[in-house]
Amino acid sequence: MLILGGTRFLGRAVVETALARGHDVTLFNRGETNPDLYPQVEKLRGNRDGDLRALAGRDWDVVVDTSGYVPRVVRASAERLADQVGHYVFVSSISVYGDFSEVAREDETPLIRIDDTSDESLDGDRYGGFKALCEQVVADVFPGRSARVRAGLIVGPNDPTGRFTYWPSRLARGGEVLAPGRKGRQVQFIDVRDLGAWLVDLGEQKVSGTFNATGPEPPITMGELLETCRAMSGSSAQITWVDEDFLREHEVGEWMELPLWIAESGDPAWRRFQEVDVSRAVAAGLRFRMVADTVRDTLEWALVTGDPGAPLASGIDIGAAGMDPEREAELLTEWRAQAR
């Protein structure tokens, strides 16, 4: 198994599953992120953008691509490997979809279209649009022998973004916690270890096709998630649900300042962003651990070694996730005053 990347977050989960199952693993990367991980694994050094020489003259059963963002770069590595690899597993994103006003399904929901690829920045819709183009490259170069996996929010230990970690950490800190919107609202995310294991499954079984990959199943609400965070941390935190119109009036940032929150009264194109259909992936073997296990393990990791807000492997610095404690206290004070 060849893994493009392999030393950060999702790549690590893939490597650890593959090694646990006894596969021969080779990593191809620049050697800049966690280079001392996996001393027992063969490591080929190079750069996907211009230096693929280390891949020459080798053959693998499967390649798992966790680090493809730009179609030109993905095409170079895919074409380099076309006659050397049996099956290609490409990690894409649900951000490929251009409209979440209805439940997103693989063959029904329109994709973001990018016609001008000369600007290779990944800002705004370009991230999702480029991922869609990368998927097409893989499908073209590996016809009938590739899986394109549209991942949702990936969470768990080693998460560099803090977008999920904020909630277990915040509930563990105790006190009054500002919770956004409606407690019965569905939220979606996938434990990095579940996704990593399934990517290896797809490679082992040579499964082809396009799949949405997020969860959990059965679905969970924001209220259930926060109660789980409180229970797993042993906290006596008080959860206060704040109306989303109040949050929008006070310009609270969706998704990043209050992770997992997207206003129902906001842009209708995002309203069902966390209701993506995953039935095809479940039918193909995707399984989910208990949310309590994800919360517990994420919290344990965060308390010891967490680094929320670090730049992503793609070089995109999304900034630190989560609400500043002083701002949270101010908003809660004003919310209570308004309610009287």
Residue 96 placed within a domain: yes
**pTM of the prediction?**
0.95
Q: Are residues 90 and 222 in the same domain?
A: no
The percentage of the chain sitting over the pLDDT mark of 90, rounded to a whole number, equals: 92
Can you give the CATH number for the domain in which 181 is found? 3.90.25.10
Residue 28 placed within a domain: yes
What CA–CA distance (Å, rounded) separates 43 from 36?
10
Q: Are residues 18 and 122 in the same domain?
A: yes
Residue 62 placed within a domain: yes
Looking up tokens 């074409």 gives: 79
What CA–CA distance (Å, rounded) separates 288 from 152?
13
Q: Are residues 152 and 266 in the same domain?
A: no
Q: Are residues 205 and 259 in the same domain?
A: no
Helices (H), 234-290: 244-249, 279-283
pLDDT tens across 304-327, in order? Answer: 875 544 333 344 344 578 999 999
Structure tokens at 267: 């842009």
pLDDT at 12 (0 to 100)? 97
Nearest to 9 by CA among 164, 229, 140: 164
Residue 283 placed within a domain: no
For the chain, what is the domain count?
A: 2
Residue 284 placed within a domain: no
Residue 129 placed within a domain: yes
Q: Are residues 260 and 206 in the same domain?
A: no
Residue 223 placed within a domain: yes
pLDDT tens across 90-121, in order? Answer: 999 999 999 999 999 999 999 999 999 999 99
Nearest to 139 by CA among 82, 84, 95, 183: 82
Residue 88 placed within a domain: yes
Q: Which residues contact 321 (CB under 8 A, 6 or more apart)?
A: 161, 162, 163, 165, 166, 256, 257, 259, 308, 309
Give the domain extent around 235: 166-187+218-271+290-339
pLDDT at 305 (0 to 100)? 75
Q: 213, 229, 250 — which closes off a domain? A: 213
pLDDT tens across 36-58, in order? Answer: 999 999 999 999 999 999 999 99
Q: How many CB atoms within 10 Å of residue 230?
A: 22
Q: Are residues 200 and 128 in the same domain?
A: yes
Q: Are residues 8 and 117 in the same domain?
A: yes
The percentage of the chain sitting over the pLDDT mark of 70, rounded to a whole number, equals: 96
Can you give the CATH number for the domain in which 201 is found? 3.40.50.720
Q: Are residues 81 and 200 in the same domain?
A: yes
Nearest to 16 by CA among 32, 30, 34, 278: 34
pLDDT at 311 (0 to 100)? 38
